Amino acid sequence: MTAQLLNIDQPLRSHKVKRILLVEDHYLNRILMSDYLTYCGYDVQSLSEGSAFFSTIEKFEPDLMLLDLKLPDIDGYSLLKQVQQKPDFSKIPIIVVSAFAFKADQERALSLGARRYFVKPLKLKDLILTIEEEFTFCHR
């Protein structure tokens, strides 16, 4: 009877919660995005600076990263460049969320490996749609 209730003959699907690493130095932006992403069902780890970036990637193993370019201790462009030089990390999609609104900033970030680029302030719904697109694209 238990087997019938659980439908044991059907393969069980394990739903793995996607992990997002958020690197954002502005406190309110970090809290707002982190809370919203958590509300949307993601496991979120956030950093306010880049010093623990690579050790956090190793421990947390994110499925996607959101990166601000202007951090207090390191340039976000440098982090993008360093990620691309590490084979284990270079496959993790990075979405830049930055106040840098110039086209040159966007082009530079994309040329350094960012998958998408959002200018602050952003619509959180658009960010979630983009994250979902990235997860769909990565798992085809």
7 within a domain of the structure (yes/no): no
96 within a domain of the structure (yes/no): yes
Q: The whole model's pTM is what?
A: 0.86
CA-based torsion, 133, 111, 52, 87: positive or negative: positive
11 within a domain of the structure (yes/no): no
User: If you ran DSSP here, which 8-state letter would residue 75 be given?
Assistant: B
42 within a domain of the structure (yes/no): yes
4 within a domain of the structure (yes/no): no
12 within a domain of the structure (yes/no): no
d(CA 31, CA 13) in angstroms, rounded, equals: 32
pLDDT tens figures, 79-114? 999 999 999 999 999 999 999 999 999 999 999 999
- Residue 86 maps to which CATH number? 3.40.50.2300
pLDDT tens figures, 14-55? 468 999 999 999 999 999 999 999 999 999 999 999 999 999
Q: Which residues span the domain enclosing 104?
A: 17-138
Q: Give me the sheet containing 64-67, strands edge to edge.
A: 43-47, 19-23, 64-67, 94-98, 116-119
89 within a domain of the structure (yes/no): yes
8 within a domain of the structure (yes/no): no
pLDDT tens figures, 67-82? 999 999 999 999 999 9
Question: What is the domain count for the chain?
Answer: 1
